[in-house]
Amino acid sequence: MLSEVLLVSAPGKVILHGEHAVVHGKVALAVSLNLRTFLQLEPHSNGKVGLHLPNIGVKRVWDVARLQLLDASFLGQGDITAPTPEQVEKLKEVACFPEDCAVTERLAVLTFLYLYLSICQKQRALPSLDIVVWSELPTGAGLGSSAAYSVCLAAALLTACEEIPNPLKDGDDVSRWTEQGLELINKWAFQGERVIHGNPSGVDNAVSTWGGALRYQQGKISPLKRPPALQILLTNTKVPRSTRALVAGVRARLVQFPEIVAPVLTSIDAISLECERVLGEMAAAPAPEQYLVLEELIDMNQHHLNALGVGHASLDQLCRVTMARGLHSKLTGAGGGGCGITLLKPGLERPEVEATKQALASCGFDCWETSVGGPGVSVHSAASLDGRVRQALGGL
Ligand code: MEV
């Protein structure tokens, strides 16, 4: 077990195309966001394990000795396997949730306990440690906040337990793990996502692990050679929703109307492929017509997602408000509220962007301009903490 404090971060994501279809084996195109989740792991010898999640008001402490008793059901896993319902039931007992405990808190605590016990089970004794996780990402808005949480936990626990070497060398401000290390982080983060979402495709944790832009299909990850330099408006409708319920709803619709829904999924697949082709072309020889194609793809996909039943009145409003200014939007992530993206084409005048942001704010939405394609999970030196992290962790 390492004795030093670890500080890791991982990005959120937006799905350009392919949400929901990706759960059924189709292609998704996803890019990392320049909004991140940060985790600080501090080893101790006080016989306690602490979890502090200031964004959602969680502060919990367990006796290592108590968790050690439970450890038996996690021992001997060897392989990285999906969490079983029995394991999750045991974790619920140990977590001792109050009756009125919020779902977000339940899932965050269960995921932590699951990853802590599974990853640390190879240690002679379970380690004492304190973990603080803080995020710039809104929770449950479709921006991959749960995946960034699982990726940070997996990376920090695997490193602290010396399952993967700490890549940060003296004098480095920031560093990343080897490809092999990232593979292992991603595998464990996927199990964390399973605790939270039931049956996720794995695209969210893959983007958070590798960063940049990638094509994802059935667990196969292909980074785009040149991540697109797209500028987008990211809008949070603030309408809460559950990814798990929306994914289940699409599955139910597919079972009920296979002849109708399967072609919609196939069409979304074709949209993702066409988008990938155009992005490749843009990287090689940019031309204004390419943006017109990207805009048409956005409109078609938004209609398809509505046909799958994952639209929402707030997302329709987002599309109307931006369309009135000649801009094209679609939901991103699971839909049913949550977030949408609007493509900002080059040459757009500043007043037009500001007016659009103003119009969206007056609908009650949070809206911010961002670029995409930042680095995946990283480990930082304490000295390199920039203002945004120092402020958040320092004030805890
Ligand atoms: C959620 O960000 C994306 C979905 O496709 C679910 C998944 O891929 O697991 C809706």
Question: Are the C-beta atoms of residues 185 and 147 closer than 8 Å to each other?
Answer: no
Residue 197 reports pLDDT greater than 80: yes
DSSP string, 79-132: S--PPPHHHHHHHHHHHT--TT--HHHHHHHHHHHHHHHHHHTTSSSPPEEEEE
Nearest CA to ligand 1 atom 1: 333
pLDDT digits (tens, 9 = 90+) for 88-130: 888 998 898 988 899 999 999 999 999 999 999 888 789 999 9
- How far apart (Å, rounded) are the C-alpha atoms in residues 319 and 343? 11
Q: Is the C-alpha dihedral spanning 235, 28, 312, 299 positive or negative? A: positive
- How far apart (Å, rounded) are the C-alpha atoms in residues 383 and 396? 18
Nearest CA to ligand 1 atom 9: 200
Residue 79 pLDDT class (50, 70, 90 cuts): low
Name the least confident of 76-85, 158-167, 255-264. Answer: 76-85
pTM of the predicted model as reported, rounded to 2 decimal places: 0.89
Cα(337) to ligand 1 centroid in Å equals 14
Looking at the CA of residue 202, tell me the nearest atom of ligand 1. Answer: 9
Given this model, what pLDDT does residue 42 score?
A: 97
Looking at the CA of residue 13, tell me the nearest atom of ligand 1. Answer: 2
Given this model, what pLDDT does residue 81 score?
A: 78
Q: Which of 152, 110, 162 is nearest to 10 (CA)?
A: 152
35: left (phi over 0), alpha (psi -120 to 50) or beta: beta
Cα(199) to ligand 1 centroid in Å equals 9
Given this model, what pLDDT does residue 241 score?
A: 87
Looking at the CA of residue 19, tell me the nearest atom of ligand 1. Answer: 5
**What value does the mean pLDDT of the chain take?**
92
How much is the average pLDDT of 192-219? 93
Active site residues: 146, 204
Residue of 17, 23, 27 best suited for mutating to test ligand 1, as the one with most atoms within 8 Å of CB: 23
How much is the average pLDDT of 260-287? 95
How many C-alpha atoms does 356 have within 13 Å on its Cβ side? Answer: 29
Cα(267) to ligand 1 centroid in Å equals 17
Looking at the CA of residue 204, tell me the nearest atom of ligand 1. Answer: 2
pLDDT digits (tens, 9 = 90+) for 146-186: 999 999 999 999 999 999 999 999 999 999 999 999 999 99
Given this model, what pLDDT does residue 393 score?
A: 60
Cα(295) to ligand 1 centroid in Å equals 22
pLDDT digits (tens, 9 = 90+) for 19-72: 999 999 999 999 999 899 999 999 999 999 999 999 999 999 999 998 988 766
Residue of 13, 14, 16, 20 best suited for mutating to test ligand 1, as the one with most atoms within 8 Å of CB: 20
Ligand 1 surroundings by CB, under 6 angstroms: 15, 19-20, 22-23, 142, 200-201, 203-204, 243, 247, 333-334
Residue of 15, 186, 220 best suited for mutating to test ligand 1, as the one with most atoms within 8 Å of CB: 15
Given this model, what pLDDT does residue 198 score?
A: 85
